[in-house]
Structure 1
Amino acid sequence: MLKGLIFDLDGVLTNSAIYHLGAWNNLAKELGISLTNQQLDSLRGISRMDSLELILKYGHQEDKYSQAQKEKFAAEKNTKFVEQVEKMTPDDILPGIMDLLNDAKERGLSLAIASASKNAPIILTKLGIMDEFDAIVDPATLHHGKPDPEIYQRAQQLLDLGADEVISFEDAKAGIESIKAAGQFAVGIGDKDLLKGADYLVPTTKELNLAKIEAAFNTNRGK
């Protein structure tokens, strides 16, 4: 029986992913690294330091900098990202999301955030939906980033639910892999080829419909 929904944040509830990717792209250019669109897209859903390590790997610079230098780069990127976040308003909530959250509340479902972003509380506050969620995973408490299942396992634990009682939402390949590794039902939002591991897929948040998703969830659980 469905009892809870778990959401990634960037690219799922709001378009803050574009700020993340833009800030990473600018940092890469400063380091003399040119990222392809595919390489940039691979940064979706993974932690700050993991993203930086991946960028350095793409530029064959993984052994060029000390840990202190890497942390400085990551901090600089985050400062630029937060500058953009400060401008966010409830108008930045993606289409269909408020209807989904309202329907979930009417159904009495618990809601949690499973985002690799340490800025999740700030973003949710700017969007005016902080109080909608019963739990937010603190990524600083995790040992492994997506695609490891830890973040989604922690989210369901915070809701005091089992893997077969939740549906999780993602727009990133690493996120879908994380959900599936946690044994949960995965809703993918975006490209069908990139997110082919999802149990239920929609091209954009506009198509998210709780009744249809729950029907697919029940069918899946009945197999």
Structure 2
Amino acid sequence: MSKRLISFDLDGTLMQNPFGAWVFPEIARVISGQLGREHDVVSEMVAEHEQRMSQKRYVEAYDWDDILVSRCDAWCIEKRVDIESLVRKHSVMPKVYLLEDGILQVLEEIKKLGFSLAVVTNGFYKFQAPVMKALGLLDYFDEIITPERAGTGKPDPAILQKLQGEVIAHVGDRLDHDIQLANRSHVTSILIERNLPEELLKLQPQMRANNHGMRLFCLEKLRRECKNPLLLELPELLMPRMVIRSMGELLSVLDEQAMG
């Protein structure tokens, strides 16, 4: 019998990685030191990342080493930063942390329901594994799919096809990556959003996606993700089928009827 899989995003869904608060600032300090002046290194790296994403170069978009080499070439300096080493250095609590208490217990309970668990992330394995290990996440997942291993990234449906088994649902925090991926793959798209307004919290997870207020909430969320405040419409492909406020809520919807 084929495995029944629930796949998860990592950053913003299960855990906080050290890039924003620790890794990028250290890269900026080293590079600014090499240049002999303060320079907005991170903004240039992120701009290069976004350009690659817009060109659907999903693997290259998350190859931070290659992005840094590209920027160093433009600045006419040598790349002297090993990003993987920085990630390992900073993969200690409280620099990295789980986004909710009890996440590991919830993952264990989901497995007891008969599901296999997988990670589908746009972060390279060498950047994600140290964080997952530090937080105790590694042992809970049967498969970890990353762009450099899959040859593509979210939201390309091909990345989900790398999983061995029937994907029942994908859980993530981004509309443009996770929800689009699930909808294009014809699996249940589950948005985890920990800052839902009170009127949406009153609704059952299965009912939230049909609420007009949820659609407006998602439109505003997509504007932030796309950095386009003038976006007027939420594409149906980016509308989640189910919305949860926590991993704990996920347990309540993982049954045959909800996943059907």
TM-score range, shorter chain: 0.5 to 0.7
2:207 is aligned to: none
Identity of aligned residues (%): 20
The amino acid that maps onto 2:239 is: G
Compute the displacement of 1:104 (Å): 0.7
SS in structure 2 of the partner of residue 168 of structure 1: strand
Relative distance call for 1:76 and 1:49 in structure 2 (3 A) is farther
2:86 aligned residue (70, 74, 80)? 80
The number of residue pairs the alignment matches comes to 190
CA distance, structure 2, for counterparts of residue 108 and residue 220 of structure 1: 13
SS in structure 2 of the partner of residue 146 of structure 1: coil
1:12 and 2:9 aligned: no
Assess if the C-alpha contact under 8 Å between 1:111 and 1:133 holds in 2.
yes
1:218 and 2:253 aligned: no
- CA deviations 1:38-86 (Å, max 9, x no partner) are x8xx99xx95731579xx9xxxxxx98769x9xx59x65554333322x
CA distance, structure 2, for counterparts of residue 141 and residue 184 of structure 1: 22
1:112 and 2:118 aligned: yes
SS in structure 2 of the partner of residue 10 of structure 1: coil
Runs of 5+ in structure 1 lacking a partner?
A: 57-62
2:249 is aligned to: 208
Compute the displacement of 1:198 (Å): 1.4
2:97 aligned residue (92, 95, 119)? 92
CA distance, structure 2, for counterparts of residue 35 and residue 50 of structure 1: 9
Compute the displacement of 1:113 (Å): 1.0
CA distance, structure 1, for counterparts of residue 140 and residue 259 of structure 2: 27
1:50 is aligned to: 61
1:184 is aligned to: 187
Compute the displacement of 1:5 (Å): 1.1
Higher relative contact order (Cα pairs below 8 Å, separated by 6+ residues): 1
- CA deviations 1:75-119 (Å, max 9, x no partner) are 65554333322x147x92221422421221221211111112223
CA distance, structure 2, for counterparts of residue 141 and residue 220 of structure 1: 28
SS in structure 1 of the partner of residue 15 of structure 2: coil
SS in structure 2 of the partner of residue 198 of structure 1: coil
1:143 is aligned to: 151
CA distance, structure 1, for counterparts of residue 134 and residue 42 of structure 2: 31
1:169 aligned residue (163, 171, 193)? 171
CA distance, structure 1, for counterparts of residue 147 and residue 121 of structure 2: 7
Relative distance call for 1:51 and 1:21 in structure 2 (3 A) is farther
CA distance, structure 1, for counterparts of residue 20 and residue 182 of structure 2: 22
1:197 aligned residue (220, 230, 239)? 239
CA distance, structure 1, for counterparts of residue 89 and residue 148 of structure 2: 21
Q: Give the CA RMSD over aligned residues.
A: 4.0
Scaled by the length of structure 2, what TM-score is found? 0.57
Scaled by the length of structure 1, what TM-score is found? 0.65
Whichever of the two has the greater Rg, that structure is 2
The amino acid that maps onto 2:6 is: L
1:3 and 2:43 aligned: no
CA distance, structure 1, for counterparts of residue 259 and residue 142 of structure 2: 26
Runs of 5+ in structure 2 lacking a partner?
A: 29-38, 196-216, 223-237
CA distance, structure 1, for counterparts of residue 107 and residue 86 of structure 2: 29
